[in-house]
Chains A and B, each alone.
Chain A
Amino acid sequence: MTSAPFNQASIKRTLKIHAKALGIPTGAADLFIDRAIKDATKSLKSKKIITDQDLDRAIVKELKKYHADFAYVYENRDKII
């Protein structure tokens, strides 16, 4: 397995698209996203190998604290078709 650097900007961009589509106000969305990414990164610090799925799961777990629909859409975005 190859290791890739954690692309925070790309994840933020994707999360912002989902937030806007769900009608979450920009200020609140930025706050949720920043906190979710920060806390998710913190929770994964102890792990040596972090997969994309680990990161997604951690972000979803953190997002659930702020906005259930946002977390739900992000969690299931690849399970529709």
Chain B
Amino acid sequence: MSVLTSLGILVLSALILVFLQLVPGIFALFNHYMHGKFSYKKASDLATFFIIGVETAVVLVFLCLNIILCCSPTTTFIIDSDIFAWLMSGIFLALAFIILGLYFRKSSGTELFISRRLATSFRARLTQVKSRSDAFVLGLISIVPELIFTLPVYFLIIITIMKFNLIGPARAGLIMLFALIVISPLIIIRILNSTGHNLADYLKFRFKNKPFFRFCLTLFYLLIASLIVLGVSL
């Protein structure tokens, strides 16, 4: 796989992590409810702990994948094989079609693929948050339902970074950069909220751009699938 192909995969992976909607949606709702229930200071504090929770969960997933891939002696042999590349390409192709058909529900809002029961449970839980630990745990678990879409991306990011043969701190830095990319939409929502934008603005933006998000996510998954195949044939 050439350096350009690897960079392309990393950029597209970063874009996928920014465009996925579940965690920003939960956070926007959480931030709104906290500002409605508590003082500005406490609400901001809880929002920070939610973001720290998300960041911790993402770093943990990255670390687990890194340990699994680095500690196994057969890893390099497997990930360099053509069959593995075709398999990864197939997974990304399947995810592209799942995003296209199932990621957003066919309703007027931006209801996502998760079961309605789970969505209700998330809403109920986020309205009951009172302490930093509640906010932190909610942040931790909010990434779980979307792992079906993010886990292959995290996996690919780690594999691609491994192929750069970077030394420890440089590799850790790059992984941390991707973990920060995941929380960048949450930070943007917080900044917008503190500059006078409210949940209504965010909802209108999401509702209006739902087809755009669906198109972009599908495109990014398809492009990654193509780049993996391109990496094999080059």
Q: A residues touching B (Cβ–Cβ < 8 Å)?
A: 16-23, 68-70, 72-73, 76-81
| Contact residue among B32, B108, B196 (Cβ-Cβ distance under 8 Å from A79) | B108
Please classify how large the interface on chain B is, using the bins under 10, 10 to 19, 20 to 34, 35 or more.
Answer: 20 to 34
A-B contact count (CB 8 A): 66
B182 CB contacts on chain A under 8 angstroms: none
A72-B200, A80-B25, A81-B123 as given contacts; A20 in contact with B36, CB under 8 Å: yes
A70 CB contacts on chain B under 8 angstroms: 200
Q: B residues touching A (Cβ–Cβ < 8 Å)?
A: 22, 25-26, 28-29, 32-33, 35-37, 107-112, 114, 119, 122-123, 127, 196, 198-200, 203-204, 206-207
Q: Nearest CB to that of A78 among chain B residues?
A: B123
A72-B204, A80-B109, A80-B206 as given contacts; A21 in contact with B198, CB under 8 Å: yes
In the bound complex, how far is the Cα of B206 from the Cα of A80, in angstroms? 9
A17 CB contacts on chain B under 8 angstroms: 33, 36-37, 127
In the bound complex, how far is the Cα of B37 from the Cα of A21, in angstroms? 8
CB-based closest 3 A-B pairs: A79-B109, A21-B36, A17-B36
